Structure 1
């Protein structure tokens, strides 16, 4: 029996080129859930560009143009991290698609809903030597949650429909695209958000017909974004935990990157100490995470801090801790039981994860148990002592170091902050007391010197990592999926574009140089309001803190290690920045850095603040700090 139903048509553009008609249906499917899209211009993707122009004029989506595809992809990734919604990046065919891979890899392991939308040559041109033609289908296989290929020739053959038979016609372009976007944000114990791939084979002609702009405006074909309310079913610890039914254990909660918020409440309710990485969201907890925790975990055997550390019986891991070996050593200790809190599928792990998974708050509370009297207080007191020790060591330095600069910026800026991969985020993790009382912007901040009180004050309520992370004024972002140094500036720009306010990126010199194209903003486009603080120590400082630094101290190895690992550079950052047409400032002291980052939040455009430091003394500084930990 054949259906007598006629096609379900909401608008008529039958006058136009078929490639444009296909592109409009794709955009309709995108705008059901997408607010932002980043386009890197090209010829084969022209139908999408024209359709996006129309959709933007109709208020259905915001389009950002970037010249470099890798930068475009990381800008979209930053937008996805800031919004939690699918965010698209559109490219033409060929090597343009290959430039998306680094961002896809990061999105895969960070659970970011990045939608890569790639224009392709039609299938009949593959294998003919046609320009910019390569096999793009499945290019990101194994790294995306799902992928869909739409071939324009399938419309003629009846395998793909522009005019659906109903609103939910599975053969319709719009429906297929909408369902693909759902896969980007699906979150449960069996699925995690992540990247998706939409590949589209367009046939010539790739430009619209000569319809007048007045007729075009009357079409009003684009959908306004349908943005569902945030999930309200998130398990909270207001589901009362019966303390009388819980055993007593000396447990610590380790919070890694992107930790679920409800676990903070549980740790506080049960009275356990919190060891929190900067991008975990738990560093802002209103009882205060343990300051200087890394130094406590490094304290030598026989010290009071080591004795406290040895008392740990159980560890609850929340999020993904990636920054320090002492944390991993604690989790893997043979006499310690460890579980991973995973209320939804973790994008970065599989069943081979040695830690037992706990999916719900109730069983997690049973595992953690109640803290014995004084357990939390002991960690807090030792943490304050460790922070005071770190502050004193930094206060004794004659010149501004990268650690001191990172500490100051993280504690002082009143904007969302993206921390670059490599040394910078580790310096913040070690030294920054994010709840330390600071002066208002433009005034003197709390000095770091011997005897300075690290933190006892409550943070402002807006600072706390809460369920509504998007509303935080000082949320900390980081690309910890793969922790690469590529794309950090572009991601920060994406965050700034969504928030429509100033964002600060704190990065090292190699991270900055690796993403210079983030400074290349077309003159037609809105410039993100972005402060980029570059700690320039002339190369890669992190390698000296690893085993390679010890090798470099062996006779005859120093130059080889510096060449093959240190990657020394002497780029003139000021000239580069001014060449891109942005503001530049230099800071060689805390006072100059304070003046540079101070100022009104409504200043516009991109500013780069360069902090020149010397990485040579860093290994000795860290060694001395570890030796002083014996006092804790």
Structure 2
């Protein structure tokens, strides 16, 4: 400890020009080393001058994994995807000025989806702030409320104690249940070649779990026993085994969100077609237990809002409110596995009511009707594409707008993890996020994107071209925003096309050529299936569809199911719903 302090004092007291470069590197290396000691392995860097000390520290640290991209906006989504998939904090390093501002869209998404991003932004020293210095702006508090914690670190030669860096980094990682921001000031000369210093010792925080009391568990067990017509909504953060055990105790069906790991489970309580069933066969529920934060299905949200359940219990691990319809009447903040396990111990196994067999019948009938329908299809359609995706054993990234809605509505058997940017549900940065997911999962990633999402992030095709794990991009090109065909816009067609659909005539073959990526344009479903059965490789698969026909395809499927449920209605009327 004494040797580290004396070494620190030597750096702090040296006033020669060389000492500034040494101080910058010493500070940066210790910062990177402390992040690694706290579990950060992946560092995402964009080129820049002011960030040179941080970049060299990453380059010279044998435990750091570096990922480089020229576009800070895409870089941030690249890091977001990796952190989302690996469930570990990652670090971004960018230079000063607009490079920092370009991180904001991904930071906003990370904040709302609790993705751990550590932002290391290089900055000018105090004497170059607010004086018109080149590439200088106010970076302090630049992300506002979108970061969980932030600090404006002094220049390396002004640190009162280098040891404070250990506690600062530990604090940053502790708060990284979302983005945190470390603004790092550097004076010139920025760095020079020299030996890396002896690392500092590290500080470790321990995060405790919230365990409910037996009294609280008994209260909820008593409430749940009063209801038989109930469902469990499993969101993206729902643990599989505890939720299934609770459903088996209650004999309630599970409605798994498209992003929930329970979607891949082959279990008689899983109702994967709930979205389409509710759309064509409206229902109501006495009780709901929602495990986790948000879910994708707007149909389910509207169903619950139209006929609020008597008991609506939400169990989640954080303190944040996820209740857009304001109908949740019980909210429990707890470690979810512990809550489910403790509740199961207090619950006697319920008798199977008529409610569960009805939902199981609806699930089987819907699955068969969809299977029969899609088996007959030969032409490309957006519902058929979504139904086909589950047959691929890969990580799956779903773009916002229509892709994730179709995947939720027309699911097949999902065999791998499913991801999407649902914090703020933007269509930007989707290609970069998919590449980050490939890095985070270390496996082939299949991404289904709309054409406007693709256009938003064309720069990130450079990441696809060099991704160490195959990243297959399937882009649905319907010449504009297909989702606007489904919205009740009482406007002339020309207004819809120009101001909402933002129509275009772009084909993506040239984009593939620009980044030396294989390109395919299958003309029918058989050709597409053959492509997806090939050895995974990074490529672009462009599917040309028609927005008007897509609307008709969706309506045709809904009409088929409505007819089916009408024929079953008489049989179901003899049972209690």
TM-score normalised to the size of structure 1?
0.78
Deviation at 1:394, TM superposition (A): 4.1
Which residue number corresponds to residue 462 of structure 2?
A: 520
Out of 549, 566, 570, which is 1:617 matched to? 549
Alignment of 1:43-58 (within 5 A): 43-55=49-61, 58=62
Distance 1:571 1:377 in 2: 49
Judged with a 3 Å threshold, the aligned counterparts in structure 2 of structure 1 residues 321 and 173 are, in CA distance, closer, same or farther, namely: closer
Range 74-83 or range 365-374, more displaced? 365-374
1:380 and 1:7 map into 2 onto residues whose CA distance is 66
Aligned to 1:415: 394
Could you tell me how far 1:388 is from its partner in structure 2? 2.8
DSSP 3-state at the match of 1:490: helix
Matched, 1:332 2:332: no
1:42 corresponds to: 48
Deviation at 1:200, TM superposition (A): 0.8
Count, aligned residues: 541
Q: Deviations over 1:169-227 (max 9, x none)?
A: xxx1232122211111xxxxxxxx21111111111111214x4xxxx3xx474689999
For 1:73, the equivalent position in structure 2 comes to: 76
The worse-fitting range, judged by mean Cα deviation, of 259-268 and 21-30 is 259-268
Contact 2:277 2:366 in 1 (8 A): yes
1:249 aligns with one of 219, 228, 231: 228
- Cα 1:565–1:224, aligned 2, differ >3 Å: closer, same or farther? farther
Does 1:487 find its partner at 2:454?
no
Cα drift, residue 252 of structure 1: 0.9
Determine the C-alpha separation between the residues in 1 that align with 2:413 and 2:200: 42
SS of residue in 2 equivalent to 1:67? coil
Matches within 5 A, 1:180-195: 180-184=172-176, 193-195=177-179
> Is residue 494 of structure 2 the alignment partner of residue 568 of structure 1?
no
CA deviations over 1:364-410 (Å, ceiling 9, x no partner): 6689994643432220111121233334444555631111112112x
- Secondary structure at the aligned position of 1:279 is classed as coil
RMSD (CA atoms):
3.4
Shift of 1:330: 2.4
SS of structure 1 residue aligned to 2:151:
strand
| 1:417 partner SS | strand
Distance 1:284 1:344, change over 3 A: same
What is the aligned partner in structure 2 of residue 27 from structure 1? 32
Aligned pair partner of 2:362 in 382, 396, 421: 382
Aligned partner of 1:345 in structure 2 is 318
> CA separation of 1:504/1:109 partners in 2, compared to 1, >3 Å: closer, same or farther?
same
Aligned to 1:137: 140
CA pair 93-546 structure 1, distance change in 2 beyond 3 A: same
Q: 1:202 aligns with which of 186, 197, 200?
A: 186
CA distance in 1, matches of 2:137, 2:221: 61
1:270 is the counterpart of 2:250: yes
1:111 aligns with 2:84: no
Per-residue CA deviations over 1:411-459 (Å, capped at 9, x if unaligned) read: 2211111111110011111111226xxxxxxxxxxxxxxxxxxxxxxxx
What's the offset of the Cα at 1:625? 3.1
Instruction: Provide, for residues 77-106 of structure 1, a one-character-per-residue CA deviation record: whole Å limited to 9, x for no partner.
Output: 111112211101111111111110010110
1:319 corresponds to 2:319: no
Separation (CA, whole Å) in 1 of partners of 2:155 and 2:348? 56
- Listed one character per residue, the Cα deviations across residues 121-163 of structure 1 (whole Å, up to 9, x for unaligned) are 112111110011111111112111111110106x43x5x422x
After superposition, the Cα gap between the structure-2 partners of 1:475 and 1:514, relative to the gap in structure 1 and judged at 3 Å, is same
- Residue 511 (structure 2) pairs with residue 505 (structure 1): no
Partner of 1:478 in structure 2? 420
CA contact (8 A) 2:378 2:526 kept: no
Once structures 1 and 2 are overlaid, which stretch shifts more, 477-486 or 288-297?
288-297
Give CA-to-partner distance per residue, 1:561-610, whole Å, 9 cap, x none: 01111111222201111111111122121111111111235x5xx21111
3-state SS of 1:203 partner: coil
Structural mapping, 1:78-89, within 5 Å: 78-89=81-92
Residue pair 1:292, 1:384 contacting (<8 A) in 2 also = no
SS of the residue aligned with 1:358? strand
- Which secondary structure state, in structure 1, belongs to the residue aligned with residue 182 of structure 2? strand
Structure 1 SS opposite 2:331: strand
Measured against aligned partners, the alpha-carbon deviations of 1:229-251 in whole angstroms (never above 9, x if no partner) come to: 9999999xxx9999999444210
Alignment partner, residue 424 of structure 1 = 403
Does residue 280 of structure 1 match 2:282? no
- Any conservation in 2 of the 1:111–1:347 contact (CA below 8 Å)? no
Matched-pair contact (CA < 8 Å) for 1:293–1:386: no
Residue pair 2:82, 2:440 contacting (<8 A) in 1 also: yes
Secondary structure at the counterpart of residue 587 of structure 1: coil
Q: What stretches of structure 2 of length at least 5 have no aligned partner?
A: 12-18, 334-338, 566-577
> In structure 2, what is the Cα distance between the partners aligned to 1:220 and 1:161?
15
Partner of 2:481: 540
User: Which sections of structure 1, spanning at least 5 residues, go unmatched?
Assistant: 165-171, 185-192, 300-304, 436-462, 464-473
Deviation at 1:522, TM superposition (A): 10
Q: Is the 8 A contact 2:395 2:441 kept in 1?
A: no
Distance of 1:143 and 1:368 partners within structure 2: 44
Match in the other structure for 2:564? 631
- In structure 2, relative to structure 1, the CA distance for the partners of 1:204 and 1:331 (3 Å cut) is same
Could you tell me how far apart the structure 1 residues matched to 2:2 and 2:205 are? 31
Q: TM-score, normalised by structure 2?
A: 0.85
Q: Distance in 2 between matches of 1:491 and 1:129?
A: 35
Query: CA–CA distance in 2 between the matches of 1:570 and 1:123?
Result: 50
Whole-Å separation in 2 of the counterparts to 1:132 and 1:588: 49
